[in-house]
Amino acid sequence: TAYCPPNNEPIARVRQASLEDYEETVRKAKEAWKVWADIPAPKRGEIVRQIGDALRQKIKVLGSLVSLEMGKIYVEGVGEVQEYVDVCDYAVGLSRMIGGPVLPSERSGHALIEQWNPVGLVGIITAFNFPVAVYGWNSAIAMICGNACLWKGAPTTSLTSVAVTKIIAKVLEDNKIPGAVCSLVCGGADIGTAMARDGRMDLLSFTGSTEVGKQVALMVQERFGRSLLELGGNNAIIVFEDADLNLVIPSTLFAAVGTAGQRCTTARRLVSGNSYRFPEIMYLDFSLADTLYGPLHTKEAVKMFLDAVEQAKQQGGSVVYGGKVINRPGNYVEPTIVIGLAHNAPIVHTETFAPILYALKFKEEEEVFAWNNEVKQGLSSSIFTRDLGRIFRWLGPKGSDCGIVNVNIPTSGAEIGGAFGGEKHTGGGRESGSDSWKLYMKRSTCTINYSKDLPLAQGIKFQ
* pLDDT tens digits, 9-24: 999 999 999 999 999 9
Residue 181 and residue 250 in one domain: no
> Which residue from 214, 196, 197 is spatially nearest to 205, judged by alpha carbons?
196
- The answer to whether 220 touches 227, Cβ cutoff 8 Å, is yes
Cα–Cα distance for residue pair 230/428, rounded to 1 Å? 7
- The answer to whether 6 touches 328, Cβ cutoff 8 Å, is no
Judged against a pLDDT cut of 60, whether residue 275 lies above it is answered with no
Q: State the alpha helices, DSSP H only, in 102-244.
A: 133-144, 158-174, 189-197, 210-222
- Give the pLDDT score at 278: 47
Residue 78 and residue 140 in one domain: yes
Q: How much is the average pLDDT of 16-45?
A: 98
Query: Does residue 41 sit within a domain?
Result: yes
CATH number, position 111: 3.40.605.10
C-alpha dist (Å) from residue 386 to 157, 392, 395, 397: 42, 11, 14, 20
The amino acid sitting at 77 is G
Residue 132 and residue 24 in one domain: yes
Query: Does residue 454 sit within a domain?
Result: no
Q: How much is the average pLDDT of 111-133?
A: 98
Q: How much is the average pLDDT of 156-167?
A: 98
For the whole model, what pTM was predicted? Answer: 0.95
Residue 227 and residue 261 in one domain: no
Residue 47 and residue 164 in one domain: yes
Query: Does residue 458 sit within a domain?
Result: no
- 403-460 per-position pLDDT tens digit: 999 999 999 988 999 999 999 999 999 999 999 999 999 999 999 999 999 988 888 8
Residue 208 and residue 310 in one domain: no
DSSP label of 278: P
Judged against a pLDDT cut of 60, whether residue 289 lies above it is answered with no
Q: Calculate the average pLDDT of the chain.
A: 95
Query: Does residue 321 sit within a domain?
Result: yes
Domain range enclosing 326: 235-407
- 293-319 per-position pLDDT tens digit: 899 999 999 999 999 999 999 999 999
Residue 183 and residue 54 in one domain: yes
**419 phi, psi to nearest 5 deg:** -65, 135
Residue 221 and residue 239 in one domain: no
% the chain with pLDDT above 90: 92
Residue 437 and residue 347 in one domain: no
- Give the pLDDT score at 80: 96
Structure confidence at residue 276 as a pLDDT band (50, 70, 90): low
Q: How many domains does the chain have?
A: 2
- The answer to whether 300 touches 128, Cβ cutoff 8 Å, is no
- Give the pLDDT score at 457: 87
CATH number, position 271: 3.40.309.10
Q: Which residues pair with 282 in a beta bridge?
A: none
- Give the pLDDT score at 274: 62
Residue 102 and residue 10 in one domain: yes
Cα–Cα distance for residue pair 375/352, rounded to 1 Å? 13
- Give the pLDDT score at 284: 35
Query: Does residue 253 sit within a domain?
Result: yes
Q: State the alpha helices, DSSP H only, in 95-157.
A: 133-144
Query: Does residue 419 sit within a domain?
Result: no
Instruction: Give me the active site residues, please.
Output: 230
Structure confidence at residue 244 as a pLDDT band (50, 70, 90): very high
Query: Does residue 422 sit within a domain?
Result: no
- Give the pLDDT score at 283: 39
- 322-369 per-position pLDDT tens digit: 999 999 999 999 999 999 999 999 999 999 999 999 999 999 999 999
Residue 433 and residue 321 in one domain: no
- 65-95 per-position pLDDT tens digit: 999 999 999 999 999 999 999 999 999 999 9
> Which residue from 129, 154, 161 is spatially nearest to 354, judged by alpha carbons?
129
Judged against a pLDDT cut of 60, whether residue 123 lies above it is answered with yes
Residue 252 and residue 283 in one domain: yes
Query: Does residue 456 sit within a domain?
Result: no
